[in-house]
Structure 1
Amino acid sequence: MRSSRRFGLALITSAALATSAGVSMAAATGDPGDGSGPVGDEQIRSHHAPAAKPGDPLNDPAEIGRSGLGLQADQIGRSANVKRAASVAPSGPLADGTGTDIAFQGNKAFVGNYNGFTIFDVSKPSKPKMLAQVLCPGSQNDVSVSGNLLYLSTDSSRSDDSCASTPQPATEKSSWEGIKIFDISDVRNPKYIKSVETACGSHTHTLIPGRSSEFLYVSSYSPNETYPDCKPPHDSISIIEVPKKAPTQAKVVAEPNLFPDGGTPNAGTTGCHDITAYPLKNLAAGACMGDGIILDIKNPAAPKVIERVSDKNFAFWHSATFNNAGTKVIFTDELGGGGAATCNEKTGPERGADAIYDLSKRNKLTFKSYFKISRYQTDDENCVAHNGSLVPVKGKDIMVQSWYMGGTQIWDFTDSAHPKELGYFERGPAAGEDGGGTWSSYYYNGHVYSSDLGKGFDIFKVSGKDFDQAAKVKMDQFNPQSQPYVGKH
């Protein structure tokens, strides 16, 4: 693969969006939030999970049946404690792309899309403002931010590293995939400044902060003997060092093999899907297809696997989240690859679920329980555990999480053996789409933000004393794959 310098950035600012022909500013739609609707062509209705008991926050008298089975195409269902503050529909050159991950900095949200990324001003969450869109195709375009830099993952074989590249087979030696770096010092005019090619591309990446340099752990998988730069076994990650004072000198500095024994037998481990770092404790948790691992990242350029677990009920170890104390890890199983209907009685509660592990002081993992949404979805709804983050509530472990068409879920795992759901927001089957739903749902500074594969950018307000407490915690920056410690309230 070659790494050309023809970046070909296509930038669409908010001013241009408002005036250019055929491209309009995406409208933010407010939700009255009282369960009455309508909002646009959507009817808001409250209902609860089948397991709710009297007194539970989800035990709402407006129940419309067991799970999303009562929802029509694109109709909204939610628990009474979750209200939609705003929605921004896809627009412009990203309208036909797929929504992916989110990162945050100050009062801005950076939302990935298979066609590029969008920057929103969310200083007023009920009225988000689009500041810029960048057209730069290349799945998945997972995004993270640090200071004046934005990192974008490209996990599709491209003709070159520019934003004007076209798809090209991975069997071609000249094909490119990896990390793109943007200067966002002017958020209305991001500038593409550097590319770094990585083996097998960059499906996801994890930011590891440092004093003079920061590091990116690049996860990728699915090697093939016919791919010149992605041959089996590929049991490794790529580590990129980015000098803070000279980011254009970023380069791959290591490719450690995390599974010298090939991983758990018959589990299909060929690299990692996602890694979440907890820098304060010099730890990271990796979801690596057939294995869950704990890494010592004290030396960020030379991580060491210090714990590894497997699970016969897990089909694809997808992502990981620490609790705030660093004493637990949530691993997710993306059964069906995000395209299958697995939130049903046939699949059951232990597959396509979250697995809760306690993490000892010696960094040993002990399985405690599974968690899965209890609202059965239809066969038309792809639904499985996906991306989420913690809510900073002192003394409790609360998480918001995406489940594709299962929606955004809020749940409590303070008792590792007995997790419980606290609330949710979901849409019925996505009309005219083979797959859809929310890719990522994250808590940030008082609100929950969600990136839907096809519907765009949603913002929610969750009521209750725990969320009132969490709203007092303010973060300056948040990349969900690099968890901050929130110790003061």
Structure 2
Amino acid sequence: MAPVRRRQTRRRTLLGTLSGVVLAMAAVLTAPAASADIPGKDEIAKSDNMHHLANIPKPGPFSAVDAYGTDWAFKGKYAFAGNYNGFTVFDISRPAKPKIVSVVQCPGAQNDVSIAGDLLFLSTDRSMSDDSCQAVPKPATDKTAWEGIKIFDISDVRNPRYVKAVETKCGSHTNTLVPGKRGTAYIYVSSYSPNSTFPDCQPPHDLISIVKVPLKKPAEASVLSEPVLFPDGGNPGDGQPWPNGTSATSGCHDLTAYPDKDLMAGACMGDGVLFDIEDREKPRVVTSVRDDENFAFWHSATFNNKANKIVFTDELGGGSAATCNATIGQQKGANAIYDIVGKGDKAKLVFRSYYKIPRPNTDTENCVAHNGSLIPVKGKDIMVQAWYQGGISVWDFTDSRKPKEIGWFERGPFDDKNLILGGSWSAYYYNGYIYSSDIQKGLDVIDIRDKRTDKGKRVKLDILNAQSQPDYFD
């Protein structure tokens, strides 16, 4: 999610939008006339092949409206759900009856999660008074303020144990786990939007931070390097306001690694990037693309399983705006599908088409392309994806030029008078089921029963970090 620049704490303002607190959250908007195509407040609508098995509301410490549910990671029979106030561990051994195992309170925003072995990595993207779980917000202008990566031992999922914190420049908006060799993991930290008044987040910030973690000695984790990815400064942006503006590049929002292919895709504000990560400690730009006409903010990326396509998302409006409507249209706030043409250093990203959900949303529903993952069907390119209050979409991009939706699930507006941040933040497919982290409603479990996706149920994983894609059919 694209953040809001903090006045004192560093909650970045970008495109007039947010990441920590919704700019328009309290604004009263005029809802459009009721439509048979738009479900009512909190009403569920879905395609016939999407079966809603369960919903678990956000637990007590996370029940407040501004305690946003965020990203997922999975290990065995457990799902780990980030929240601006910490994270929750669920037992999903019975997907229709998930249970809360433990709740860890550790405020920090966004608290995106990744897992390696018995370690969980938590992103803190808010300047805090210190690196503890009792910290409170502190101005980013204060050199003593802290933000970065926290590490937890989850060998006992009922009692996760805080092990270590690593401070990173401009904090950690998201994190990407890249397995290394000889018991080492690398955490690629994405952060952005520097300010000359922030001692630990100085312009131009054309870099990422790489944290090296000895898995058996996580307390020795540290920043290995801060490689500059955009020595030419990246996309300068066009200086235009939302919704027509193109963001300048000052770091990356999200990085998706494909370790088995030694590749990584970067969504870096104004640039979409393909990286070579054969040398884990020295990621290298292979090629990049821009779409100054239709993309406002390159937000995230997903490879197909063959790694000859990348789906990039445009988080128009930073996730806090109503962009799934006729006024915005079908090319802004959408996915862009690129084929990877050529091999090695000669590879290029070639645009093929846009995909955006076809259903209308009200003016009180924040809706835009967001986080998703592949459904592992051999010979097909199918993914499930969150669209905030636009719901969840399952779509097929096997033909890069003609993507099509094959299933969907959504609720009506969280509030039919006010635009309040809500909806599905991340929707991922794991061991036969779709798990959605709803910002306000908590955990949703969905079973898609469709001959086009049923073969995906046969594929089982031990761990899934969506930003570290597995090769499902190697």
Task: Mark the CA change 1:301 to 1:137 in structure 2 (over 3 Å): closer, same or farther.
Answer: same
The answer as to 2:45 corresponding to 1:77 is: yes
- Partner residue, 2:380: 396
Q: Provide, for residues 277-299 of structure 1, a one-character-per-residue CA deviation record: whole Å limited to 9, x for no partner.
A: 00011000000000000111111
**Alpha-carbon deviation of 1:187?**
0.6
**Alpha-carbon deviation of 1:245?**
2.0
- Correspondence list, 1:84-233, <5 A: 84-96=52-64, 97-212=67-182, 213-233=184-204
- Correspondence list, 1:234-253, <5 A: 234-253=205-224
- Partner residue, 1:286: 266
3-state SS in 1 of match to 2:61: helix
**Alpha-carbon deviation of 1:264?**
1.9
Structure 1 CA distance, aligned partners of 2:145 and 2:235? 31
Q: Provide, for residues 23-80 of structure 1, a one-character-per-residue CA deviation record: whole Å limited to 9, x for no partner.
A: xxxxxxxxxxxxxxxxxxxxxxxxxxxxxxxxxxxxxxxxx95642xx1111111011
3-state SS in 1 of match to 2:455: helix
3-state SS in 1 of match to 2:257: strand
CA contact (8 A) 1:446 1:467 kept: no
Q: Tell me the TM-score normalised to structure 1 length.
A: 0.85
Paired amino acid for 2:295 = F
Structure 2 CA distance, aligned partners of 1:120 and 1:90? 11
- Correspondence list, 1:321-470, <5 A: 321-362=302-343, 363-431=347-415, 434-470=420-456
Structure 2 CA distance, aligned partners of 1:146 and 1:65? 46
Structure 2 CA distance, aligned partners of 1:199 and 1:67? 45
Structure 1 CA distance, aligned partners of 2:260 and 2:467? 13
Structure 1 CA distance, aligned partners of 2:403 and 2:409? 18
- Partner residue, 2:255: 275
Paired amino acid for 2:178 = I
Paired amino acid for 1:345 = A
Task: Mark the CA change 1:203 to 1:126 in structure 2 (over 3 Å): closer, same or farther.
Answer: same
Structure 2 CA distance, aligned partners of 1:172 and 1:67? 50
CA contact (8 A) 1:66 1:376 kept: no
**Alpha-carbon deviation of 1:466?**
2.8
Structure 1 CA distance, aligned partners of 2:35 and 2:454? 30
Q: Provide, for residues 198-244 of structure 1, a one-character-per-residue CA deviation record: whole Å limited to 9, x for no partner.
A: 00000000000012211000000110010001011101000000012
Structure 2 CA distance, aligned partners of 1:147 and 1:117? 17
- Partner residue, 1:298: 278
Percent identical residues: 60
Gaps of 5+ in 2: 1-33, 238-246
Structure 1 CA distance, aligned partners of 2:305 and 2:375? 9
3-state SS in 2 of match to 1:248: helix
- Partner residue, 1:264: 235
CA contact (8 A) 2:366 2:419 kept: no
Larger radius of gyration: 1
Structure 2 CA distance, aligned partners of 1:202 and 1:433? 27
Task: Mark the CA change 1:287 to 1:309 in structure 2 (over 3 Å): closer, same or farther.
Answer: same
- Partner residue, 1:18: none
Alignment coverage as a number of residue pairs = 423
3-state SS in 1 of match to 2:453: helix
Structural RMSD (CA) = 1.1
Q: Provide, for residues 323-350 of structure 1, a one-character-per-residue CA deviation record: whole Å limited to 9, x for no partner.
A: 0000100000000000001001110111
CA contact (8 A) 1:137 1:163 kept: yes
Paired amino acid for 2:436 = S
Q: Tell me the TM-score normalised to structure 2 length.
A: 0.88
CA contact (8 A) 1:291 1:308 kept: yes
Structure 1 CA distance, aligned partners of 2:281 and 2:36? 49
Q: Higher RCO, 1 or 2 (CA under 8 Å, sep at least 6)?
A: 2
Structure 2 CA distance, aligned partners of 1:231 and 1:468? 49
Paired amino acid for 1:221 = Y
Paired amino acid for 1:183 = D
CA contact (8 A) 2:116 2:185 kept: no
Structure 2 CA distance, aligned partners of 1:209 and 1:466? 32
Structure 1 CA distance, aligned partners of 2:429 and 2:153? 25
CA contact (8 A) 1:67 1:374 kept: no
**Alpha-carbon deviation of 1:177?**
0.1
Paired amino acid for 1:481 = Q
3-state SS in 2 of match to 1:109: strand
CA contact (8 A) 2:429 2:435 kept: yes
Gaps of 5+ in 1: 1-63
3-state SS in 2 of match to 1:195: strand
Paired amino acid for 1:104 = F
Paired amino acid for 2:337 = I
Q: Provide, for residues 88-118 of structure 1, a one-character-per-residue CA deviation record: whole Å limited to 9, x for no partner.
A: 0012212121100000011110000000000
CA contact (8 A) 1:242 1:249 kept: yes
CA contact (8 A) 1:385 1:403 kept: yes
3-state SS in 2 of match to 1:239: strand
